[in-house]
Amino acid sequence: KQWYQRRVAITAGGQTGAAVLGGSLLATAVSKEMIVLDADVLAGAILFTCTYGLGKKIGPMVIDGLDKYTASIETTMSEGKQVQIAAYEEAIAEEKAAIESLQLAGDIFHIKRELVQIEIEAEYRRRIKTVHTEVKKRLDYQVELENTKKAFIRNHIVAWLEKEVIASISAEQEEANINQCIASLSLLAPSQ
């Protein structure tokens, strides 16, 4: 607007002076065949004018529609991206858990090894106890056998000694013993 007002002040041609100047220059260019007006130029001018008019009238509606379509695609892609990010984060968490479980697997292996050692020790002690019990039974049997043998020998010796002592006592010795026993009893008995 400032440019137009400056031109008006310089040319003093009024408000339509610039339009008349432009139209006269265009007419001169067409008449001198600087601009050739054939069917292609007219078709191009009509195509340009229609395209420009449609762009001005329908352009905002198309732009709004394309913006909405782009926003929906962007939202869909963003949702897909968020789903992928969540899936990747979950996979990372699972991998970290797997790493921790692998680290714990070494501890579990050592624990299982210790449990096996404890089971082996328990079985060893059970077997030692079984052997101890069996050896004790056999030793007790041997002691009982020895005691039985000694008792048998002692009883046999006592019976043999009694038999020999009785056989060695003569009838006079027996009567002397009986008289001595009666005398001892009479001494012990109270006097009447």
Pull the structure tokens for residue 3: 């440019």
Residue with tokens 């009893």: 185
- The residue behind tokens 């001018």 is 45
Helix axes 17-31, 2-11, angle to 10 degrees: 80
- The per-residue pLDDT string of the chain (192 residues; one tens digit each, 9 = 90 and over) reads 555 565 555 555 566 777 788 889 989 998 888 878 788 888 988 999 999 998 899 888 988 999 999 999 899 888 888 999 999 999 999 998 888 887 777 788 888 999 999 999 999 999 999 999 999 999 999 999 999 999 999 999 999 998 888 777 777 887 888 888 888 888 887 765
pTM of the model: 0.36
State how far Cα 71 lies from the chain centre. 41
